[in-house]
Amino acid sequence: MPNVLSRRTFLSRSGWTATGLTIAATVSGCSLVPALPSRNELTETDAFTWLQLKPDGRFLFCSPRQEIGQGISSTLKLVIARELGVELEQVEVIAPDTSLIAQAKSTVGSESIKDFLEPVTEISQIMSETLRARAAQQLGTTPVEVAFTGREFVSSNGSRLSLSELAAGTPILLDPSEAPTATKPLQPKPASHLPSSVPTARIADIVTGAPLFAGDIQLPGLAHGAFIRPPQLGATLSETSFDAIPQDQILARYFDGERAGLVAPTQTSLIEALDLVEASWTTAAAADQDAINTSLALVEPVGELEHIVFETSGRPNEQADIDLSISIPFAAHAAIEPRAAVARWNDKVDPTLEIWTGTQDAFYVRSHIAKHFGLSEKEVIVYSQRVGGGFGSRTLCSVELEAALLAKEARRPVKVQWSRPDEFQEGFHRPPSRHRIRASANEVGMLTDWSHGFKSGHVIFTSAAMPRWMQAVTSFASDPGTARGAHLPYAAHRAEISFSDVRMPVKTGPWRGLGAAPNNFSIETAIDQLASNKGLDPLIFRLANLPPEHKRLSACLEQVAKNADWQGRSTTQTSARGIACGIYKSVTYVAVIADVDIDQESGAFQVTRLTCAHDCGRVINPDQVRAQIEGNLIWGLGMVKSEELSVKQGRLSADYLGDYQIPTIADAPAISIELIEPENAAPVGAGEAAIVASGAAIANAVAAFTGQPITELPIRLL
Amino acid sequence: MDITVNGRVRQVEDAIADSPLLWVLRDELGLVGTKFGCGVGTCGACTIHVDGKAVRSCQTTPEDIVGHEVTTIEGLADTTPDAGLHPVQQAWVEHSVPQCGYCQAGQIMSAAALLAENPAPSDSDINRDMSGNLCRCGTYARIRSAIKQAARNTPPSTNQDAS
pLDDT at A648 over 50: yes
> Which residues in chain A are contacts of B37 at CB distance < 8 A?
336-338, 420, 657
> Which residues in chain A are contacts of B31 at CB distance < 8 A?
209
A14/A377: higher pLDDT: A377
Position A716 in a domain? no
The residue from A156, A174, A205 where one domain ends is A205
* Confidence band of B85 (pLDDT split at 50, 70, 90): very high
Interface test with B, best of A68, A200, A202, A207 (most B CBs within 10 A): A207
Residue A343 and residue A320 in one domain: no
> Which residues in chain B are contacts of A419 at CB distance < 8 A?
39
Q: What angle do CA A540, A542, A543 make, to 5 degrees?
A: 65
Residue A290 CB partners (closer than 8 Å, separation 6+): none
Give the orientation angle of helix B123-130 with respect to helix B104-117, to 10 degrees. Answer: 130
Let me know: does A327 contact A712? Beta carbons within 8 Å: yes
Let me know: does A186 contact A79? Beta carbons within 8 Å: no
Least confident of A101-105, A343-347, A432-436, B77-81: A101-105
Interface test with B, best of A107, A196, A336 (most B CBs within 10 A): A336
Distance from B154 to chain A by nearest Cα, in Å?
Answer: 17
* ipTM rounded to 2 decimals: 0.95
B162/A602: higher pLDDT: A602
* 3-class state of residue A115 by DSSP: helix
Confidence at residue A681, expressed as pLDDT on a 0 to 100 scale: 95
Confidence at residue A183, expressed as pLDDT on a 0 to 100 scale: 53
CA A328 → CA A302, A435, A518, distances in Å? 18, 8, 7
Least confident of A119-133, A594-608, A634-648, B87-101: A119-133
DSSP-derived letter for residue A128 is H
Q: Is A315 left (phi over 0), alpha (psi -120 to 50) or beta?
A: beta
Position A713 in a domain? no
CATH code for the domain in which residue A201 is found = 3.30.365.10
pLDDT digits (tens, 9 = 90+) for A64-98: 889 888 889 999 999 999 999 999 999 999 888 88
Residue A562 CB partners (closer than 8 Å, separation 6+): none
For A440-452, letters b (16+ CB in 10 Å) and e give bbeeebbbbbbbb
Residue A481 and residue A411 in one domain: no
pLDDT digits (tens, 9 = 90+) for A261-293: 999 999 999 999 999 999 999 987 888 999 999
Q: Among B85, B127, B142, whose Cβ lies nearest the Cβ of A666? A: B127
**Over chain A, what is the mean pLDDT?**
90
CA-based end-to-end distance of chain A? 74
Position A513 in a domain? yes
Contact A266 B45 (CB under 8 A): no
Interface test with A, best of B34, B43, B137, B144 (most A CBs within 10 A): B137
Residue A535 and residue A624 in one domain: yes
Contact A665 B143 (CB under 8 A): yes
**Over chain B, what is the mean pLDDT?**
93
Position A413: which residue type? Answer: P
* Confidence band of B140 (pLDDT split at 50, 70, 90): very high
Q: Exposed/middle/buried for A195, CB within 10 Å: 0-12, 13-18, 19+?
A: exposed
* Confidence band of B141 (pLDDT split at 50, 70, 90): very high
pLDDT digits (tens, 9 = 90+) for A596-612: 999 999 999 999 999 99
> Which residues in chain A are contacts of B135 at CB distance < 8 A?
336, 665
Q: Among A70, A207, A387, whose Cβ lies nearest the Cβ of B104? A: A207
pLDDT at B120 over 80: yes
Q: Among A391, A627, A633, whose Cβ lies nearest the Cβ of B96? A: A627
Position A57 in a domain? yes
Contact A69 B100 (CB under 8 A): yes
Q: What is the mean pLDDT of residues A226-254?
A: 93
Position A717 in a domain? no
Among chain A residues, CA nearest to B108: A207
Q: What is the mean pLDDT of residues A478-507?
A: 95
Residue A327 and residue A361 in one domain: no
Interface test with B, best of A206, A266, A612 (most B CBs within 10 A): A206
Please check whether residue A473 touches B, CB under 8 A.
no
pLDDT digits (tens, 9 = 90+) for B13-47: 998 999 999 999 999 999 999 999 999 999 999 99
Let me know: does A418 contact A339? Beta carbons within 8 Å: yes
Please check whether residue A664 touches B, CB under 8 A.
yes
Contact B74 A69 (CB under 8 A): no
pLDDT digits (tens, 9 = 90+) for A338-370: 999 999 999 988 899 999 999 999 999 999 999
Confidence at residue B80, expressed as pLDDT on a 0 to 100 scale: 87
Q: Among A224, A388, A623, whose Cβ lies nearest the Cβ of B96? A: A623
Confidence at residue B144, expressed as pLDDT on a 0 to 100 scale: 98
Please check whether residue A203 touches B, CB under 8 A.
yes
Least confident of A4-18, A250-264, A386-400, B55-69: A4-18
Confidence at residue A665, expressed as pLDDT on a 0 to 100 scale: 98
B2-76 placed in CATH 3.30.465.10: no
What's the rounded Cα separation, in Å, for the pair A573 and A578?
A: 15
Please check whether residue A333 touches B, CB under 8 A.
yes
Position A711 in a domain? no
Confidence at residue A48, expressed as pLDDT on a 0 to 100 scale: 83
* Confidence band of A44 (pLDDT split at 50, 70, 90): low
> Which residues in chain A are contacts of B74 at CB distance < 8 A?
208-209
pLDDT digits (tens, 9 = 90+) for A418-436: 999 999 999 999 999 999 9
Q: Exposed/middle/buried for A100, CB within 10 Å: 0-12, 13-18, 19+?
A: middle
pLDDT at B81 over 90: no
Share of chain A above pLDDT 70, in %: 92
Confidence at residue A3, expressed as pLDDT on a 0 to 100 scale: 27
Residue A110 CB partners (closer than 8 Å, separation 6+): A584, A585, A588, A684, A685, A686, A687, A688, A689
Position A664 in a domain? yes
Chains A, B: CB contacts within 8 A come to 181
Contact B139 A210 (CB under 8 A): no
Residue A476 CB partners (closer than 8 Å, separation 6+): none
pLDDT at A19 over 50: no
Domain ranges of chain B: 2-76, 81-153
Let me know: does A641 contact A713? Beta carbons within 8 Å: no
What's the rounded Cα separation, in Å, for the pair A135 and A142?
A: 9
Residue A226 and residue A189 in one domain: no
Confidence at residue A39, expressed as pLDDT on a 0 to 100 scale: 57
DSSP string, chain B: -EEEETTEEEE--GGGTTS-HHHIIIIIS--TTSPPS-SSSSS-TTEEEETTEEEEGGG--GGGGTTSEEE-GGGGGGGSSSSSS-HHHHHHHHTT--SS-TTHHHHHHHHHHHHHH-SS--HHHHHHHHTTS--TT--HHHHHHHHHHHHHHSPPPTT----
Distance from A407 to chain B by nearest Cα, in Å?
Answer: 18
Confidence at residue A101, expressed as pLDDT on a 0 to 100 scale: 81
Confidence at residue A543, expressed as pLDDT on a 0 to 100 scale: 98
Cα B85 to chain centroid distance, Å, stands at 14
* Confidence band of B131 (pLDDT split at 50, 70, 90): very high
Please check whether residue A642 touches B, CB under 8 A.
no
Distance from B162 to chain A by nearest Cα, in Å?
Answer: 30
User: Residue A667 belongs to what domain range?
Assistant: 289-332+428-706
Residue A345 and residue A480 in one domain: no
Least confident of A193-197, A344-348, A643-647, A698-702: A193-197
Confidence at residue A11, expressed as pLDDT on a 0 to 100 scale: 31
pLDDT at A473 over 90: no
Confidence at residue A190, expressed as pLDDT on a 0 to 100 scale: 63
pLDDT digits (tens, 9 = 90+) for A162-187: 999 999 888 888 877 766 655 555 55
Domain B81-153 carries which CATH code? 1.10.150.120
Residue A148 and residue A295 in one domain: no
* Confidence band of A470 (pLDDT split at 50, 70, 90): confident
A64/B140: higher pLDDT: B140
What's the rounded Cα separation, in Å, for the pair A238 and A258?
A: 8
Residue A529 and residue A656 in one domain: yes
User: At A562, phi and psi to the nearest 5?
Assistant: -65, -50
Q: What is the mean pLDDT of residues B93-103?
A: 97
* 3-class state of residue A484 by DSSP: coil
Reported as type and span, the H/E element at residue A670 is strand A670-675
pLDDT at A160 over 50: yes
Q: Among A197, A268, A387, whose Cβ lies nearest the Cβ of B100? A: A387
Residue A478 and residue A604 in one domain: yes
Least confident of A243-247, A316-320, A470-474, B111-115: A470-474
Confidence at residue A25, expressed as pLDDT on a 0 to 100 scale: 27
Share of chain A above pLDDT 90, in %: 76
User: At A356, phi and psi to the nearest 5?
Assistant: -110, 125
* Confidence band of A664 (pLDDT split at 50, 70, 90): very high
Contact B26 A200 (CB under 8 A): no
Contact B93 A634 (CB under 8 A): no
What's the rounded Cα separation, in Å, for the pair A632 and A634?
A: 5
Q: Exposed/middle/buried for A540, CB within 10 Å: 0-12, 13-18, 19+?
A: middle
The residue from A177, A205, A233 where one domain ends is A205
